[in-house]
Structure 1
Amino acid sequence: MKILWDFDGTLFDTYPAFTEAMYELLDGKAAKKDILTKLKVSFSHAAEYFELTDEQVMEYKRNQAAMKASEKPPFQGVKEVLDFAELNVIMTHKPRAEVDDILQHYGMRHYFKEIVAGDDGYKRKPDTAAYKYLHNLYGIDLVIGDRLLDILPAKQLGITTCLFQNSEVGADFYLENYKDFFQKSLVCVNSSIQ
Structure 2
Amino acid sequence: MNILWDFDGTLFDTYPAYSSIFSRVMGGESDEKEIYETLKVSFSHAIHFYNLSENQLREIAALENNLSPNDIQPFEKVEEVLKFADKNVIMTHKDRKGVMSILEHYGWEKYFNEIVTIDDGFPRKPNSAAYQYLHEKHHIDLAIGDRELDLIPAKELGIKTCSFQNQHVVADYYLANYSDFFKTVGEFIK
Indicate the TM-score class for this superposition, using the shorter chain for normalisation: over 0.9
CA distance in 2, matches of 1:77, 1:118: 27
Q: Using structure 1 for the length normalisation, give the TM-score.
A: 0.96
- Secondary structure of the equivalent of 1:174? strand
Aligned residue in 2 for 1:114: 114
* Change in CA separation of 1:189 and 1:172 when aligned onto 2, cut-off 3 Å: farther
Aligned residue in 2 for 1:95: 95
- Which region of structure 1 is more displaced relative to structure 2, 135-144 or 44-53? 44-53
Is the 2:163–2:169 Cα contact (8 Å) retained in structure 1? no
Equivalent residues in 2 for 1:133-172 (5 A)? 133-172=133-172
Structure 2, gaps ≥5 residues long = none
Equivalent residues in 2 for 1:16-55 (5 A)? 16-55=16-55
Aligned residue in 2 for 1:83: 83
- Secondary structure of the equivalent of 1:22? helix
CA-atom RMSD in angstroms? 0.9
Aligned residue in 1 for 2:175: 175
Is the 2:147–2:169 Cα contact (8 Å) retained in structure 1? no
- AA at the equivalent of 2:50: F
Q: Using structure 2 for the length normalisation, give the TM-score.
A: 0.98
- AA at the equivalent of 2:174: Y
Is the 1:92–1:117 Cα contact (8 Å) retained in structure 2? yes
- Secondary structure of the equivalent of 1:119? helix
- Which region of structure 1 is more displaced relative to structure 2, 139-148 or 47-56? 47-56
- AA at the equivalent of 1:60: I
Deviation string, structure 1 residues 1-37 (Cα, Å, up to 9, x no partner): 1000000000001011001111111111011111001
- AA at the equivalent of 1:94: K
CA distance in 1, matches of 2:10, 2:169: 17
CA distance in 1, matches of 2:37, 2:176: 16
After the TM superposition, list the runs of 4 or more consecutive aligned residues in structure 1 that deviate by more than 6 angstroms: none
- Secondary structure of the equivalent of 1:170? coil
Deviation string, structure 1 residues 57-97 (Cα, Å, up to 9, x no partner): 11101111210011011100000000000110000000000
Is the 1:160–1:189 Cα contact (8 Å) retained in structure 2? no
Aligned residue in 2 for 1:187: 187
Number of residues paired by the alignment?
Answer: 190
Q: Could you tell me how far 1:189 is from its partner in structure 2?
A: 5.2
- AA at the equivalent of 2:87: L
Is the 1:127–1:153 Cα contact (8 Å) retained in structure 2? yes
- AA at the equivalent of 1:86: D
Identity of aligned residues (%): 52
CA distance in 2, matches of 1:32, 1:188: 37
- AA at the equivalent of 1:109: E
Deviation string, structure 1 residues 111-140 (Cα, Å, up to 9, x no partner): 000000111100000011100000001100
Aligned residue in 2 for 1:73: 73
